[in-house]
Amino acid sequence: MTISEQIDSDVKCMREYFRRLFSLAQDATADETLPSTIDEFEDRFIRHSVAAFIRPDMACNVYNLVDFWLARLCSFHERNRNVPLAHKDIKAKSQLRAYHKYLTKVASLNLDSVLPNFDHLDSLRKVRNYLVHSGAHVEEDKCREIDNIAGVTVSGSLIVLSDAFIWDSLDHANTYLSAVARA
């Protein structure tokens, strides 16, 4: 199986996994009536809490997919192009940017056609960092930057992700990774 086929397979599996998670989220939040007892409240709170974690988990999963495959794709191009410099030697503001810099500047891949995909993945990286490192809370001075990402809003100080943001992120990841694999 080629690297492109492996990436396609991973994305296909993730799509099916996400379909099931969205179904779970819908089922978990389907009962909107007010609880009448403490036990009923706790049960509903648990179901709501599960649903609240689904989209952030999906966003992290997409970013993990990108991070995993970019490390492998950099190593692949390093071997196949006999590049003397390893991708681990490249420094940038983020690991994602270091991979892209390695691929375009050192391995000399032309990735101009997928720059919009890379830009979306960089936005996903920012969102993911808030999810992982700040419990999904955004500092007040960064709210506008996060609010400007399509499909992402800030409610109070918490990041809220739309279904479209998740699907778009997976599509951008697939397009970008496939282009790097074919280059």
Q: For the chain, what are the domain ranges?
A: 3-182
Query: Is the pLDDT higher at 162 or at 53?
Result: 162
Burial class (CB in 10 A: 0-12, 13-18, 19+), 65: buried
- 31 Cβ contact list (under 8 Å, min separation 6): 44, 47
Query: What does pTM read for this prediction?
Result: 0.87
Residue 89 has pLDDT above 70, yes or no: yes
Residue 32 has pLDDT above 60, yes or no: no
Residue 26 has pLDDT above 90, yes or no: no
- Percentage of residues of the chain with pLDDT beyond 70: 87
Q: Tell me the pLDDT tens digit for each residue of 152-173.
A: 999 888 899 999 999 999 999 9
Q: Tell me the pLDDT tens digit for each residue of 99-149.
A: 999 999 999 999 999 999 999 999 999 999 999 999 999 999 998 999 899
Residue 31 has pLDDT above 60, yes or no: no
